[in-house]
Amino acid sequence: MWRLCGWSVCTLPREIHGHRRVIMGMNNQTEILLESGTNELEIMEFTVGGEIFGINVAKVREIMMYCAVKPMQNSHPVIEGVFKPRQELITVINLADYLGLPPSQDIDHDIFIIANFNSLNFAFHVHSVVGIHRVSWADIIKPDSTISTADSGIATGIVKIDNQLIVILDFERIVSDISPETGLKVSEISGLEGRQRNDSHIMIVEDSALLIKLISDSLTKSGYNNLTLCNNGQEAWNYLMKVKSGEEPKDVKCIITDIEMPLMDGHRLTKLVKTDNDLKSIPVVIFSSLINEQMRLKGESLGADVQLSKPEIGLLVQEIDKLLLK
């Protein structure tokens, strides 16, 4: 087991194509973030209650040793409290409590994974961090409806590494369950209802059953009713190939895509679209919880026309208007 060797900097084993190397701290995530359209990601493996889980390294800002936190009265039961490691106050979520798993047997050696997504920071209390693995999105299996539904699923994917199954948790869903106001702000489009219908063909590429429904419903209420829904980048690319060949008659006027998806991620899809002579004129809007400075640079290098951070659904509709109602 690899442990943290300092307060905010750690040494973790990192495997790439079967070869192991050691990375100091989380600043090195820029290396993977700035590689363009490789359809790969890095998974941080960690444990809670003896079970193995994973988180996309792109979400991880840093990892820290466990420390005492300030409890907050009347907060959600799985919120341990808050702490202030530097100049910001961070909420701590106890993953064992949320997942219904046994508590830590050695809390002094527990870990806080500081994550950033949806333009917010959270600390997830876990029991150990094992290492980092670089994998292809093509190797990640999306859980079927028997174990992950739009209403209750908390896993975005499962990957097999070293003969062990690692469950990649849906951290956005976890935070939204605890604090619903951090989810998609569907109320932002209430003033757009009743607009004139627009028949422009829009593709929505999103692996979350809950989010793809919320996005499509929001666009429909805003007047966009000619929608094609795809569950991952590979499905979207296959559809675009049919459009090119004439099997699908609909001309695509805009593509809205998430980044994190099994089989093919949104960055790879963007690269394929923008390097195809027949498709490159189609506007690509990246709508993801991962949008930050590094991710924005990567998206720009791939040719993305617009990049927005979830949960700003109102801004998404505004940007679609700018692209299609010129």
Q: Enumerate the domain spans of the chain.
A: 11-180, 184-324
Question: What's residue 209's pLDDT?
Answer: 80
The segments of the chain whose pLDDT lies below 50 read 1-11, 14-34
Looking at the DSSP assignment, which residues form a beta bridge with residue 54? 45, 168
Question: What's residue 24's pLDDT?
Answer: 36
* C-beta separation of 250 from 228 below 8 A: yes
CATH entry 2.40.50.180 includes domain 11-180: yes
Question: What's residue 187's pLDDT?
Answer: 58
> How far is residue 110's CA from residue 64's CA, in Å, rounded to a whole number?
9
Q: DSSP letter string over 168-211?
A: EE-HHHHHHHH-GGGS--GGGGGGGTTPPPB---EEEE-S-HHH
- Mention every residue, 6+ apart, whose C-beta is less than 8 A from residue 104: 96, 110, 127
For tokens 């679209």, name the residue: 273
> How far is residue 155's CA from residue 183's CA, in Å, rounded to a whole number?
17
Question: What's residue 188's pLDDT?
Answer: 57
Question: What's residue 4's pLDDT?
Answer: 39
> Domain 184-324 is of which CATH architecture?
3-Layer(aba) Sandwich (3.40)
